[in-house]
Structure 1
Amino acid sequence: MALQIVLLIAGLALLIAGADWLVGGASSLAKKFKISDLTIGLTIVAFGTSAPELVVNLFASTTDHQDIFFGNILGSNNFNLFIILGIAGVILPLKVQVSTVWKEIPMSLAAVVAVYLMVHIPSPNGEMMLGRIDGIILLGLFVLFQFYIYRQIKEYTPEETAHKPAGPLFKMIAFIILGIAGLIIGGRLVLDNAVLMAKALGVSEKVIGLTIIAAGTSLPELATSVVAAFKKNPDIAVGNIVGSNIFNLLLVSGMISLFSPVKYSPIFDIDFYILAAGTVVLFINLIAWRKHRLDRWEAAMLLTFYVGYTVFLISRQG
C-alpha cells in the first residue's frame, strides 16, 4: 500500500511537470514562428492545464476503468468549484467581472447540462454512454467557446509588443518530448496505482476518481488560483476555475469520447446534480444585490460543503 501511495504521488508530480514542460516548449516553439501570445494562451497553455485530466482519462477509458473517467471529470470540476474557489475566496473576497458572472458562469452550467443530457440519451444499442457523435458535438461547442474567448481577449488586449528571443530550437523540442513522456508515464502511474489503492482500501474506483485523482489532476488550477488570490487578482482566480471546468467538460470529454466511447453509470447522477447546483449557487451569490463578489463567509461555506460531500461519497461507497 505504501508503495502505491509513493508511486501515485510520483505519477501526479510527473503529470504536473510534464504539462509544464510541454507548455513551455510548445510556447517557445510557437513564439519562434511568430505565433501571437494570444493564440498560444488559447491553445497551448489551455491544453496544458487540461493535459493531466486528458491523459489519465485516456488511459481509463481504454482499459475498462470507465468509472474513473467520469469520476475524474466530475470530481475535478467539483474540486475546482468548492475547494479551489473556496480557498481563493477565503484568502481574498473575490470581486468578479460582469462578463464572467453573466456569460462564462452560465456557459459552465450549460456545459454541465449538455454532457448530462448526452449520457442520458440512450445509444442505438440502448446503453448510456458518451459516443463519438457526442464527442464531435462537445468539441464543436469547445471551438465556439474558444472563439468567444478570442473575441473577448481581442477586444480588451492592447497591441502586443515584439517577441523576445525564443531560445535554441533543440531545447524547445527537448522540453516538448520530456513533457509528452512525463504525461504518458505519469498518467499510467496515476491510473494503475489508484486502481490498486481502491482495491486495497475496499473503495470503489468511482470514489478514488472523484477524490484522490480529481484533486491531483487539479493541482495546476489550485496553484494558479491561490497565487492569483494572494496577488489580489480575483478575475484570474475565478476565470481559471470557470474556464477549467468548461475545458474538462467540452475538450477532455469530447476528445476522449471521440477516441473511445465511454459507458456511463447512473451512480454519477448525484455528482452531476452537485456540480450543477454549485454552479447555480455561485451565480446567485455573485448577482445578489448586484455585488458581483464572493465573500469570505461564502467561500468558507463552499469548503464546508465539500467536506460533507466527501464524507457522503466515502460512506456511500459508489
Structure 2
Amino acid sequence: MTYILLIIGFILLIKGADYFIDGSSNIAALFRIPPLIVGLTIVAFGTGAPEATVSIIAALEGSADVTIGNIVGSNILNISLVIGITAFIFPLSVERPTIKKEIPFAFLATIALFVLISDIGLGVAYENMITRSDGIIFLLFFSIFLYYVIEAARNSREQDKTDLVNHEQVGSWSKNILITVGGLAAIVLGGYLVVESSTDIAYRFGMSETLVGLTIVAIGSSLPELITSVTAALKKQSEIALGNIVGSSIFNILFVLGVASLIAPLPVDPKMFFDIIVLLILTVFLFIFSRTQYKIAKYEGLALTLFYVAYLVYIIMRN
C-alpha cells in the first residue's frame, strides 16, 4: 500500500504542477505584473507548502533534526538539482533584478541562519539552538522581503497601465483562480503522500532521523519545486522557474524555520554547519552562473546537478 500511495503522490505532483503553472501565469497577466514576481510569491510559497507542512509537524512532534534537515536539505536540492535539471532541459533566462536583489537576499537569509545557530561559537549559550527570539528575527526579515516584492509588483503595474490583457487567451479570474488553487492542492497532497510513504520506506531500511531529513524528506518535499520549475521551463516561463526556486529558498528559511522555532526551540545537530556552508557556496555559484550572459546554460545546469550527486553521496557516507 505504501508504494501505491507513492505512485499516486507522483501523479498528483505532475498534474498539479501543470495546472498550477498555467493558472498562476494567467493570473500574472490579469494582474499585469511580471512572471518573476509571481514566481517569487504565489508559486514559491505554494510549492514551499510541503516543506512548511513537514517542518511544522516535525516541530510539533519534537523532531528538530527533521525540521532543520528538511529546510537546509530542500534548499540545497533546489539550488543544485532543481535548477540544474531545469537548466539542462531548457536554459534559464535570468532577469537582472533577480541577480541584483533576490539571489543576494537568499544568500543573506542563509548567512542569518548560520549566525543564529552559532550560539556556542558566539559564546551566547552552551547549546546551538534556533530559539523563539531567533524565529522572530527570521519573520521580521521575511516581512521585509514581502514588502520589497509587493512594492516591486505595485511599481510594475504602474508602469504597465497601458497594457491590455486578452481575456480570451488567459481566461476569466474565477477559472484561473480555480485552476491555480486546484493545482496547488494536488501539489500539496501529492507532496504529502510522497514524503510520508518515502519516509516510511526509509525508516524500514534503518536510516537516521538527520539523514532522512536531509535526503528523503528534503527530496520528497522539494518535488513540487522540481516538477513546477521543469514544467515552467518547458512552457518557456523561465522567470517563474527561477523565481520559484529563489523565492522558495527565502520562504523556507525565513518563514518556515521562523514559525517552527516559535512553536518549539530547535536544537541544532553540529553536522548541520557543513550543510549550511554547502548551501552558501551553492548560492554564490548560482549568482556567478546567473551573470554569464544573463542565463543559466545547459553545462552550468549539469555542473549543479553533479554537485548535488556528490553531496548526496557524501552525506549518506557521513551518516
TM-score relative to the length of structure 1:
0.78
The one-letter amino acid paired with 1:307 is V
Unaligned runs of 5+ in 2: none
Aligned to 2:114: 116
Residues 4 and 206 (structure 1 numbering): CA distance in 2 closer, same or farther, change over 3 Å? farther
The one-letter amino acid paired with 2:127 is E
The answer to whether the 8 A contact 1:225-1:236 is kept is yes
> How far did 1:200 drift?
2.1
Matched, 1:207 2:211: yes
The one-letter amino acid paired with 2:66 is I
Once residues 75 and 102 of structure 2 are traced to their aligned partners in structure 1, the CA distance between those partners, rounded to angstroms, is 15
Once residues 44 and 234 of structure 1 are traced to their aligned partners in structure 2, the CA distance between those partners, rounded to angstroms, is 15
Once residues 37 and 121 of structure 1 are traced to their aligned partners in structure 2, the CA distance between those partners, rounded to angstroms, is 45
Aligned to 1:259: 263
Matched, 1:94 2:92: yes
Once residues 97 and 257 of structure 1 are traced to their aligned partners in structure 2, the CA distance between those partners, rounded to angstroms, is 33
Q: Secondary structure at the match of 1:127?
A: coil
Matches of residues 217-256 of structure 1 in structure 2 within 5 Å?
Answer: 217-256=221-260
> How far did 1:12 drift?
7.3
The answer to whether the 8 A contact 1:49-1:221 is kept is yes
Moved more, 230-239 or 144-153: 230-239
Once residues 270 and 109 of structure 1 are traced to their aligned partners in structure 2, the CA distance between those partners, rounded to angstroms, is 16
The answer to whether the 8 A contact 1:55-1:184 is kept is no
Q: Secondary structure at the match of 1:143?
A: helix
State the superposition RMSD in angstroms.
3.7
Task: Render the CA deviation track for 1:109-149: whole Å, top value 9, x for unaligned.
Answer: 10011011111125976321111111111111111101111
Residues 198 and 44 (structure 1 numbering): CA distance in 2 closer, same or farther, change over 3 Å? same
> How far did 1:57 drift?
0.9
Residues 190 and 287 (structure 1 numbering): CA distance in 2 closer, same or farther, change over 3 Å? closer
The answer to whether the 8 A contact 2:199-2:216 is kept is no
Task: Render the CA deviation track for 1:263-296: whole Å, top value 9, x for unaligned.
Answer: 11111112111111011112122235xx222111
Once residues 183 and 237 of structure 1 are traced to their aligned partners in structure 2, the CA distance between those partners, rounded to angstroms, is 18
Q: Secondary structure at the match of 1:266?
A: coil
Task: Render the CA deviation track for 1:146-183: whole Å, top value 9, x for unaligned.
Answer: 1111122222233497994648xxxx8xx89x959x96
Once residues 288 and 97 of structure 2 are traced to their aligned partners in structure 1, the CA distance between those partners, rounded to angstroms, is 14
Residues 179 and 223 (structure 1 numbering): CA distance in 2 closer, same or farther, change over 3 Å? closer
Q: Secondary structure at the match of 1:269?
A: helix
Aligned to 1:104: 102
The answer to whether the 8 A contact 1:16-1:219 is kept is no
Residues 233 and 11 (structure 1 numbering): CA distance in 2 closer, same or farther, change over 3 Å? closer
Matches of residues 1-318 of structure 1 in structure 2 within 5 Å?
Answer: 3-7=1-5, 46-122=44-120, 126-157=126-157, 158-159=160-161, 164=172, 166=174, 187=192, 196-288=200-292, 291-317=293-319
> How far did 1:7 drift?
4.7
Once residues 53 and 111 of structure 1 are traced to their aligned partners in structure 2, the CA distance between those partners, rounded to angstroms, is 17
TM-score relative to the length of structure 2:
0.78
The answer to whether the 8 A contact 1:21-1:179 is kept is no
The answer to whether the 8 A contact 1:66-1:263 is kept is yes
Q: How many equivalent residue pairs? A: 297
The one-letter amino acid paired with 2:243 is G
The one-letter amino acid paired with 2:306 is T
Identity of aligned pairs, percent? Answer: 40
The answer to whether the 8 A contact 1:83-1:303 is kept is yes
The answer to whether the 8 A contact 1:90-1:299 is kept is yes
The one-letter amino acid paired with 2:249 is N
Once residues 130 and 12 of structure 2 are traced to their aligned partners in structure 1, the CA distance between those partners, rounded to angstroms, is 28
Residues 234 and 15 (structure 1 numbering): CA distance in 2 closer, same or farther, change over 3 Å? closer
The answer to whether the 8 A contact 1:211-1:310 is kept is yes
Once residues 268 and 73 of structure 1 are traced to their aligned partners in structure 2, the CA distance between those partners, rounded to angstroms, is 11
Q: Secondary structure at the match of 1:218?
A: helix
